[in-house]
Structure 1
Amino acid sequence: MKRLTEAGYFVVGESWGARLRLSDPPNLTVLHAAVVAATGQGFRIEELDASWAPQVTALEAMNHADYPYTPATSVPHRDESDVLDLWTFGCRLFGAIHDGQLVAVSVMSLTAARAETEFTSVHRTYRRRGLAVAVKAASITALAHDGVRIFGTGGAQVNAGSIRMNEHLGYAIEERWLSLTVPH
């Protein structure tokens, strides 16, 4: 790193990776409290089936420009076919629903070693109400009941809200990486 910066390379993005390691049996108190806090505000928190694909697609389209971009954390545009593939490939989706409308979603994929967050997204007008925490907590709880004990997530360093949300759920940042660009 030192040699590269001395040669004129400069940082164009910072990213992080975090892990949540649950005990066995897991203590789900914080996770349960996050879901209760959201349901207490009138939101329904539940696992979503593929019939929700149009609403997940619309939420992602609306929020796409809000995702921070770095060379290591770009977010693809997802059409309905891409969203349907999430279920096809075994992802589990959890949402917050208000008056029949999906206002937040968290998507988890499973690997042999852990569950990995694919993305968590909240409708702009429903942000800062604990919904990202609630849908992610619901996903972790469901997967913990299925025996998963290690969870991974990550993102752009500039997304302080995502970092706080994940730390609240017990994730610890274990990796950081920098994206550098070549001097001109």
Structure 2
Amino acid sequence: MAGDIQVLEFNDPRVQQLMQAGYFVVGESWGARLRLSDPPDLSACTAAIVAARQRAFIVQELDARWAPQVTALETLNHADYPNTPATAVPDRDESDVRELWKSGHRFFGAIKAGQLVAVSVIGVTLARAETEFTSVDPSCRRLGLAVAVKAASINALAADGIRTFGTGGAQSNAGSIRMNEHLGYVIEERWLSLAPPQ
């Protein structure tokens, strides 16, 4: 059935046609953009990083020596990612994580007592910087760490001249939506995944 799933923007006229034909929604997803001014106002990002540091977390860019801990964190959190036809998350092993570094992605983490507890990974396309994933250890959630590590990635790439940032995810992940809105992202696209009648 997966091959027959249609992923369409929610306002696409084909959505109504397919639903009238018996298709049904099996997933909702979104895309958001952060468009910085020039010079950029990074006060929200800086405040998020400061708040994490006040809780005794180190927030910094990571080099490839952190690959084992990034992989372990992704493995720990894999089952928690909402899984829709448009937002399927790969089951990454350490070689996959290292490949992201090799392809130019940058990693930003929150560390406590030498242990990586949050990470955000971002890459640069021709049009913008795009978040690959953001992950937080379950024991450290709701402490602002997702916001802090993503803020660190925005600050770093803004210093390199990037002014447009993209991200996205499943509509069911309310925490991700709130985190991105806190940093100034605005949802600009919404998609529906539609499955054919059984």
When the two structures are superposed, what TM-score results if normalisation uses the length of structure 1?
Answer: 0.99
Counterpart in 2 of 1:87?
A: 101
Q: CA deviation at 1:134?
A: 0.1
2:60 partner SS: strand
Q: Distance in 1 between matches of 2:17 and 2:131?
A: 34
Q: CA deviation at 1:167?
A: 0.3
2:86 maps to which of 61, 65, 72: 72
1:161 partner SS: helix
Matched length: 184
Q: Distance in 2 between matches of 1:149 and 1:37?
A: 24
Counterpart in 2 of 1:147?
A: 161
Q: For structure 2, which runs of at least 5 residues remain unmatched after alignment? A: 1-14
Q: Distance in 2 between matches of 1:138 and 1:70?
A: 28
Counterpart in 1 of 2:177?
A: 163
Counterpart in 2 of 1:103?
A: 117
Q: Distance in 2 between matches of 1:10 and 1:87?
A: 39
One-letter amino acid matched to 1:31: C
1:27 partner SS: coil
Q: CA deviation at 1:12?
A: 0.2
Q: CA deviation at 1:41?
A: 0.1
Q: Percent identity?
A: 73
Q: CA deviation at 1:2?
A: 1.4
Q: Distance in 1 between matches of 2:159 and 2:192?
A: 35
Q: CA deviation at 1:128?
A: 0.2
Measured against aligned partners, the alpha-carbon deviations of 1:84-127 in whole angstroms (never above 9, x if no partner) come to 01110000000000000000000001111110000000000000
Structure 1 segments, 4+ long, off by >2 Å, are: none
Q: Is 1:119–2:162 an aligned residue pair? A: no
Counterpart in 1 of 2:195?
A: 181
Q: CA deviation at 1:31?
A: 0.4
Counterpart in 2 of 1:58?
A: 72
Q: Is 1:18–2:27 an aligned residue pair? A: no
Counterpart in 2 of 1:34?
A: 48
One-letter amino acid matched to 2:21: A
One-letter amino acid matched to 2:170: A
Counterpart in 1 of 2:6?
A: none
Counterpart in 1 of 2:7?
A: none
Counterpart in 1 of 2:148?
A: 134
Q: Distance in 1 between matches of 2:78 and 2:102?
A: 22
